[in-house]
Structures are given as structure tokens and as C-alpha cells.
Amino acid sequence: MKKSCQTKPEKRWNLTPVSQLNSHQKNHKRATSIGRLAAGWMILQTFFLATPVLAQQKLKNDLSYSQFLEKLEQDQVTKVELDDTTNQASVTLKGQSKEDSPKQVVLFDQNQDLIPKIRAKNVDLSLKTSIDRSQTVGVLLNLLIFFVLLSGLIMIVRRSASASGQALNFGRSKAKFQMEAKTGIQFNDVAGIEEAKEELQEVVTFLKEPEKFTAVGAKIPRGVLLVGPPGTGKTLLAKAIAGEAGVPFFSISGSEFVEMFVGVGASRVRDLFKKAKENAPCLVFIDEIDAVGRQRGAGIGGGNDEREQTLNQLLTEMDGFEGNSGIIVIAATNRPDVLDQALMRPGRFDRQVIVDYPDLQGRLGILEVHARGKKIAAEVSLETIARRTPGFSGADLANLLNEAAILTARRHKEAVTMLEINDAVDRIVAGMEGIPLVDSKAKKLTAYHEIGHAIVATMMPSHDPVEKVTIIPRGGAGGLTWFTPDEEMGLETKSKIIAKITSALGGRAAEEVVFGQDEITQGAGQDIQVLTSLARKMVTKFGMSDLGPLALEGQEQPVFLGGDSGGRNEYSEEVASQIDVRIRNIALDCYAKAKNIISENRLAVDRIVDLLIEKETIEGKEFRELLAKFSPVYASEQKTDKIHSLLKK
């Protein structure tokens, strides 16, 4: 048998932009509401025109027709006035005073016997004709409906014209333009990043005094890329440049270029640089440029997408066939690794300015800037705060002083003291303070765990000193031990990494030594994750094992940057097993060392735990004094260190 083949009709899809569909839906809803309004007016008009008399009767009727005939038969009617227009009768009864208005009676359409009856009773009868306004009311209502419909039509036309105008302006740049950006921020308001300020000060001088550089053949840089972690002051630097330069300033975010419609981003780039060329020399600041400047053709699917077309247009405008003389592009990003290589080359971004975390002097300068508008007590030392906050960015330090000011206002104090500063640091580092634990086994376990961290870290020569030990819950932790480095964060030695791993295992070691293997808790889960990561990096990245100085694991590249999605290892299975053995050996050796330290200082552990349960928080200086008092090993080490320091002097 032959199967009959039928060809399905081809489906044709009419693709309409979402914004156009929305505008059509809005216009349809608006027209529907206007139609309902018009229908309501027509019904209202019909009601008033068709029954104008009935509307008045319900309000003014005093006598029914039968009552009127009954009064007439009883000779109680003295006067009747008939109205042909309204078909009503005004009746005056006997005994009715002149001040009372006549009674109104609605008559039937055919009243042939009524007049003879009235005359038979010798009642005063008269006729009148009132003015008929029904036609006038009908004309006015029709005119009102006409004006309502006309107004709705004008509204729809205007909205349509506005929508079409927005469609024409869709490809225009959304950059904010200022002839002289009065941001209120100068270079004096930026602290902690002096090297970056010096680089950008040259850009400002280039704009103000170009002859100083052109005299020796120097050309104005086309682009400056600000690279640094979040919160280090990249956008603040751009505001300072805008405030110092005194030239036209365009500012836009990288995400404002890209839209869902193809070609819009590239059109906005063209429009931005067209406006910039008309106002050259000028500055163009693009914040978060990684939103539009990611590597092209990377990831699954690759492609010819809208973002890549926008990036291609940006590359052409910055350094294409025509060039952009007189325009300096300043861009900021915290993800330089995702940017396209063509965007990073000289000629487009001639300079890359690193805006890194501030050092001690930088933090002190930032604190001085942000402390200007706050009431700080005289005993507060900004240098002490700067020493306690290594690794804080400019945004973190600003937030620190603001949190301290909020705590001061909450506690009804007149000035910020060190107590508020310390509480603000604790809140930023560890989170909001929770409810203290009640006296129980959990509180005792937490105290031993935290003292284990603190004692092991203090007994390790290369570890950072203890800043504070507390068993008050903060964030998601039941207790915390803080460490403050003596020096700025930089290169770390193998002995320091080993000391960190040993200190991380100090809490678990204290639990096992004091309570036994069966009473260890899950409180060391986060510590074990951290030490495992450090041990793996020692073996696979830092070359700190007997496998040799080999980088067995490289930088993990995400799939969208062209990274391998298959999870392929860069070493054999035999090497993988050796890596696992080395990582395990590092962890076990450090754990044995931590248990040995706890066992040797068991008396100090018990005594300090009792004090910690009572006080709930012990400062670092007090902790070291207690350890020197109860631990002969630590006391002898301290004496030896003092002797060595004196001999060196």
C-alpha cells in the first residue's frame, strides 16, 4: 500500500518587537475604555431624554391620579392648573394655605373625561405650557460625547507619536553629559592610592596644558583602564578627574550599551563618540566595561551576538580608521581577565592603572578623609584603626566609620569612641552579634574549640598574633578567633602556610584531647575546608612538596571565557594519587602537631577556658598575658625571644 503524503502548510511567523506589542495592547485597552465611557453616556442620555418627567415625578409627586379624583368628588379641590408639556396637574385643596405649594398629579395620556368633571364641580381651571428643554439637553449631551471621543483620539495619536519618537531615539546614547562636571570631589578627597592619582593627574594636566607635553613630542593617551578589586576607589577617581579637568565629561555604564535588539548597542557607541568628537577635547568614562568588553567568540555557541557587535564598534571608535583625537576614554573594571585582548592593547587603552587595596599609610589617609564630617572622640587613634584593618578597601573603611557613627547615635553618645570603632570592626568582619550561649555543654565545647585555635596559633612562630577570642555568636559561627597581621599582606612563606593549617586544626585538636574522639563536633567543618584548600595549593600550585616545583593545576578558566567544559586533568592518575597522599600527609602532620601543643599546655587551656566562659570575650593582649602565666613553655619562649632581641641590639 502506498502512503499518501501530505505537505503541511508552511507556518509564517510575524515577529513583532515586545515594546510594539505592549504599545498596541495599551492602545487597545485605552480605546476599549473610551468606548465603554461613550456607551455609558449614551445610556445616561437615553434615560434623561426618554423619561425626564418620571425623574421629576419620583421627587415631587404628592397625589396619585385616583386620590385626585377622590378629592374632586368630595369637593375638596379649589383650583386645577393643567400643563400640556409635562402632562401634570397642579392641584390646590381646600384649607391649604397660600404658602404651601400645590399638589402635583401625574395625568394619563388620554384625559377626555377629566375636564368635564372639573367643570361640573365648578373648580377654577386653567391651562399652561412650560418650556421643553429635552432637545437642548440632548444636543448638549451629544456634544459632550463628541468632545470625549475627540479627546481620546488626540491622546492615542500623541502616544503613538511619542512611541515612534522613542523608537527613533532608541539607538541614541544614554550617556550623561556635563560641560564641566561639578562632582564636588577633587584629588585631595581621594587618599590611599597615590600612584594611581599621579598617573591620572598627568591626564588632567594633558587636558589643561597640552603644550607642555606636545613640546617634547608626547601624544595624549587615548585610554586609561582602572583595574582593581571592588571598593578600592575606581569610580571615585573618575569623579575626581571630572572635577579637576574642567572639560566636557560623558559618563555611562557598560551595561547601558547592550539591549535585546540587534544593532542598538553599536548605534549607541557611534552616537556617544559622535557627541564626544563635537565637544573635543573631552573625557568619556565607562564604568564596569567588562559588561560589554568580554572576549569575543568565547564559550558555548560562540558568536555573532549583540554584545560582540557593540564591542566591535567600540574597538573601531577608540582606534579605527578615522581615530578619535582629543577624546580620552577612562574605563573601570574589577575583572580584567575577562576583557578582550584587542581592547587591552596600547592605542586603545594605553595605560592600565592598578587601584589596589591601600597599605597602612593609605588606610590612615582614607580614615582621615572620611572622619572629617564625624564627631570623633579625642582618645580615638586613627593609626590604631588603620593597623587593625589590613585588607580593608576604601569602601570598607568608609563603612566602618559610618557603622561606628550609627552605633554612637544608637547609644546616645556625643562622639565616636574606640568602643564603637571596635564593635563596628567586629560587625564588618564577622557579622552581627547574636545572643550569647547559656551555661551548658555547648558553651564549654565552643570555648575549648576557640581557645584551641588561639593557643596553637600563638605557639606557632610564623602565625599572626591573636586579636580577640570570643564565644559570642556572630554571623553563622558559634564563636570566633581573630588574628591581626603585624605586617602588610604580601608573600607568604611555607612555614606561615603550615602555621595557618595547624591553627585551623587547633579547635578540633582541643576537642579530641579534652573530650575524646567520640565527642568531637562539626564545628571544625569550615576549618577543614580551608586547610584542605591551602594544602592542595601547596602541592599543585606553589610547588611546596616533594613532587617538585610543578604547577599541576592551572588557572580555572570559565566556559564563557573559552575554558574547558570537560573537566580534563593536567596530570595522570598516578600523579593524582600522589597529590592526594601529600595533601593527606600535610593535614595529618599539622593535626598531630596541634594535638601535641594542646597536650603540652593542657593546664593553660583549662584555666583560660574557665575565664573565657565567665567573660565571653578575651582581648589578644590579655590572652597572651594569661598564656605566659599558665604555660611554662610559652613563658620560656618569650624570655628567649627577649634575650635574642637584646643581643641583636
Active site residues: 450
Helix or strand holding residue 421 (H, E): helix 418-430
Grid cell at residue 576: 593524582
- CA–chain centroid gap for 413, Å, is 32
Tell me which residue of 475, 512, 648, 493 sits closest to 591, measured CA to CA.
512
Tell me which residue of 595, 592, 622, 593 sits closest to 607, measured CA to CA.
622
Q: How far apart are CA 336 and CA 482, in angstroms?
A: 32
Q: Cα–Cα distances in Å, from 63 out to 54, 70, 104, 595? A: 14, 10, 6, 111
Question: Facing residues of 619 across strands?
Answer: 468
Q: How far apart are CA 327 and CA 284, in angstroms?
A: 7
Q: Cα–Cα distances in Å, from 457 out to 227, 497, 505, 638? A: 35, 12, 10, 15
Helices and strands of the chain, counted as H and E runs: 23, 13
Whether residue 91 contacts residue 65, with contact meaning beta carbons closer than 8 Å, is answered with no
Query: Which residues lie closer than 8 Å to 265 by C-beta, 6 or more apart?
Result: 257, 258, 259, 292, 306, 307, 309, 310, 313
Question: Facing residues of 82 across strands?
Answer: 89, 127
- CA–chain centroid gap for 102, Å, is 76
DSSP character at residue 178: E
Tell me which residue of 85, 48, 408, 347 sits closest to 223, measured CA to CA.
347
Q: Cβ-count burial of 435 within 10 angstroms (0-12 exposed, 13-18 middle, 19+ buried)?
A: exposed
